[in-house]
Amino acid sequence: MTAKTIMFALAALAISAAKAFPIEAQYECATGTRLHANFSSPDASPGSVVLAFSGASGKIRLPQVASADGGRYANNAMEFWIKGREATLTRGGKSETCHTN
């Protein structure tokens, strides 16, 4: 193997390993709600997000659902729709705009 081939193999390995890790983000919403979002690995199928709300015990897992734009995660009671650094959290029929810290 040449040095060039080894470098290419190591670069490909590093890129594929980076894709395997989940992504985490902190959000603050317009009404003061704060939450931690732990998104599944981009390789996961189907994808999901686990939401932990500040000041509340327990976590909520939402499966990824079809979206024309952005990442949308929802169940019968809640929807978390992200696009870039902003998100819309809908629960109890009420929506609020959130952004990453």
Please give the domain boundaries of the chain with CATH numbers for all domains.
21-100 (2.40.128.200)
pLDDT, one tens digit for every residue, the chain (101 residues): 555 544 444 444 444 444 556 789 999 999 999 999 999 987 888 899 999 999 988 899 999 999 888 899 999 999 999 999 999 999 999 999 999 97
Distance from C-alpha of 59 to C-alpha of 79, rounded to nearest angstrom: 14
Q: Which tokens is 3 given?
A: 């040095």
Its pTM stands at 0.76
Contact (CB, 8 A) for 77 and 64: no
